[in-house]
C-alpha cells in the first residue's frame, strides 16, 4: 500500500471541519502510516490536543516556543522528518498565510520550512471560498506546487448555508495522499505508462424534461477504481454518469447523462490498455421522450414504450479493432450472483466480471448501492476469486493490483 511505513505530518487548523481530522488520523494509521500532528491555537478550540495525540500515538504539537521541543529547532525536524505534509482542514486564514510566506506560529513556520510535498484540504464558508482574495491565494499555492483536494459542495455548519466549501471526506484525502506519494515513488506505480478507461455511476434516461429512469448507483466504486488506477501511475479517463462525488484528482473526467452519451464518450476514449466498466447503465430508455412535462389527466398514468439501450460492455468487448487487451465488467446481482456472473462473462465477451450482491440480504451495512463497502467475486475463465467485505477503496486498490499483475504477465 502507498502509505505503508510513510511518515505524515498533519496540520489541523481552526474550523468546524477539524473534527474530521480525528477520523483522518485513524484512516492514515490503519493504512500503515505514522502520523505527527501540529495544531493551530484556533484548532484547539474545536478538538483537543489530547484527542489528536491519542489517535496519532504521540503528543500533538501546538506551540512554536515550546521549551521541550524547540531546544533543537523542533519545527525544522517536524518540517523535514516526514514524507508528506497534509493540511486538513485548511482555513482561509491559514491558506492566506501560506500564500504570503508568513511564519508567525508553529503551523505556518513548519509549512514555510518544509521541503516535502504538501496536500491541502480547504474548508470554509462558500462565500469565503469564492472571495477573490481566497482564489488569488489558491492560485498562488498551486503555482508554488501545493496540491489541493476539495473543497466539496454541500451543507455548511451555518444554518441555511450551502455551496462549495466543505472539506473533502477523510477517505478522499487519503486517496489524494496516496496518489501524491505514488507520483514520487516509481515502485508504487505499477501502471505507469498504461492507459485505463473507467465508467462509473448511473445513467439517467429522460422521460420528459423533469423526469428520468435511473438506478441507485452512487458511483463510489467506479470513482474509487479511477483514483486507485491514477495512484498506480495509469493515465485514466473516467466517464461518469450523474453523481454527487467530486472528480478524482489526476484523472481526466467526462461527464455524461444517458447510456448513448456514455457509449459515445467510451468510444472516443479508445484505445486504452484496460477498460473497467463499473457504471450501472440503464438497460432501457423511453422510446420517445416528451419535449414538455407530461401532465396528469383523466386517462390515468401514461403508457411508456421502452427500448433497449446500447450494451456498452458487449460493444467494446466484441470490437474487432481497438479492443482493449483487458476488459473488465461489473455485475450487480440480487440472486445467484456467481452463476449469473459466469453467464454474463460468456454473453458479453469480456475478460473478467466483478460481481457483487446488491440485495437487501447482502450483509453489507448500509447496502452496496450508495454505501461505502462492497463484497465482490472476480469471475474469469479460470475460476472465481471471492473477496471478503471491505471498503470500496480497498476493493479498488485490490482490483488495480490484480490488473497490474495481469498486464505484467502479458508483457
Residue 400 neighbours by CB under 8 Å, 6+ apart: 191, 225, 228, 229, 231, 232
Compute the chain's Rg from CA coordinates: 24
Which residue bears the cell 505507469? 192
What gap in Å lies between CA 272 and CA 51, rounded to an integer?
A: 47
- Compute the distance between CA of residue 163 and CA of residue 157 in angstroms, rounded to an integer: 11
Residue 271: asked if its preceding bond is cis (omega within 30°), the reply is yes
215 catalytically annotated: yes
Helix (H) or strand (E) holding 389: none
How far, rounded to the nearest angstrom, does the alpha carbon of residue 217 sit from its chain's CA centroid?
15
How far apart are alpha carbons 364 and 381 in whole angstroms?
Answer: 27
User: How many C-beta atoms surround the C-beta of residue 23 within 10 A?
Assistant: 14
Catalytic residue among 215, 340, 356, 374: 215
Query: Residue 239 and residue 174: Cα distance in Å, rounded?
Result: 22
List the binding residues.
Answer: 283, 293, 310-313, 330, 344, 348
Please, what is the end-to-end C-alpha distance for the chain in angstroms?
23
Q: Which three cell numbers stand for residue 5?
A: 511505513
What is d(CA 179, CA 2) in angstroms, rounded to the nearest whole number?
8
> Which residues are documented as binding site for CTP?
283, 293, 310-313, 330, 344, 348
Rounded CA separation 189/196 (Å)? 14
The Cα–Cα gap between 241 and 175 comes to 21
Residues with catalytic function:
215
Amino acid at each position: 500500500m502507498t502509505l505503508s511505513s510513510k511518515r505524515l505530518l498533519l496540520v489541523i487548523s481552526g474550523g468546524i471541519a477539524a473534527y474530521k481530522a480525528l477520523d483522518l488520523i485513524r484512516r492514515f494509521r490503519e493504512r500503515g502510516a505514522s502520523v505527527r500532528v501540529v495544531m493551530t491555537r484556533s484548532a484547539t478550540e474545536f478538538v483537543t490536543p489530547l484527542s489528536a495525540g491519542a489517535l496519532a500515538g504521540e503528543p500533538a504539537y501546538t506551540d512554536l516556543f515550546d521549551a521541550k521541543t524547540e531546544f533543537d529547532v523542533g519545527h525544522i525536524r517536524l518540517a523535514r522528518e516526514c514524507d508528506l505534509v497534509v493540511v486538513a482542514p485548511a482555513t482561509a486564514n491559514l491558506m492566506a498565510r501560506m500564500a504570503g510566506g508568513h511564519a508567525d506560529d508553529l503551523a505556518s513556520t513548519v509549512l514555510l520550512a518544509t521541503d516535502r510535498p504538501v496536500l491541502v484540504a480547504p474548508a470554509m464558508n462558500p462565500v469565503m471560498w469564492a472571495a477573490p482574495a481566497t482564489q488569488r491565494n489558491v492560485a498562488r499555492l498551486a503555482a508554488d506546487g501545493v496540491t489541493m483536494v476539495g473543497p466539496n459542495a454541500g451543507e455548511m455548519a451555518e444554518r441555511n448555508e450551502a455551496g462549495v466549501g466543505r472539506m473533502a471526506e477523510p477517505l478522499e484525502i487519503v486517496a489524494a495522499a496516496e496518489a501524491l506519494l505514488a507520483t514520487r515513488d516509481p515502485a508504487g506505480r505499477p501502471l505507469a505508462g498504461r492507459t485505463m478507461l473507467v465508467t462509473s455511476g448511473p445513467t439517467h434516461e429522460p422521460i420528459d424534461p423533469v423526469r428520468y429512469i435511473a438506478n441507485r448507483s452512487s458511483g463510489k466504486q467506479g470513482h474509487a477504481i479511477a483514483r486507485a488506477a491514477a495512484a498506480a501511475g495509469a493515465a485514466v479517463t473516467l466517464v461518469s454518469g450523474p453523481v454527487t462525488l467530486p472528480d478524482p484528482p489526476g484523472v481526466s473526467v467526462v461527464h455524461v447523462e444517458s447510456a448513448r452519451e456514455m457509449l459515445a464518450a467510451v468510444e472516443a476514449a479508445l484505445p486504452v490498455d484496460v477498460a473497467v466498466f463499473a457504471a450501472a447503465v440503464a438497460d432501457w430508455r423511453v422510446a420517445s421522450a416528451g419535449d414538455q412535462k407530461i401532465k396528469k389527466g383523466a386517462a390515468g398514468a401514461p403508457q411508456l414504450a421502452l427500448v433497449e439501450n446500447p450494451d456498452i460492455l458487449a460493444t467494446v468487448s466484441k470490437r474487432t479493432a481497438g479492443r482493449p487487451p483487458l476488459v473488465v465488467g461489473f455485475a450487480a446481482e440480487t440472486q445467484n450472483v456467481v452463476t449469473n456472473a459466469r453467464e454474463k462473462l460468456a454473453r458479453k465477451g469480456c475478460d473478467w466480471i466483478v460481481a457483487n450482491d446488491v440485495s437487501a440480504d447482502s450483509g453489507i451495512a448500509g447496502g452496496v448501492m450508495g454505501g461505502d463497502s462492497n463484497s465482490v467475486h472476480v469471475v474469469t475463465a479460470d475460476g472465481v476469486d471471492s473477496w471478503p467485505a471491505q471498503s470500496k477503496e480497498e476493493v479498488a486498490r485490490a482490483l488495480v493490483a490484480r490488473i497490474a499483475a495481469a498486464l505484467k504477465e502479458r508483457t
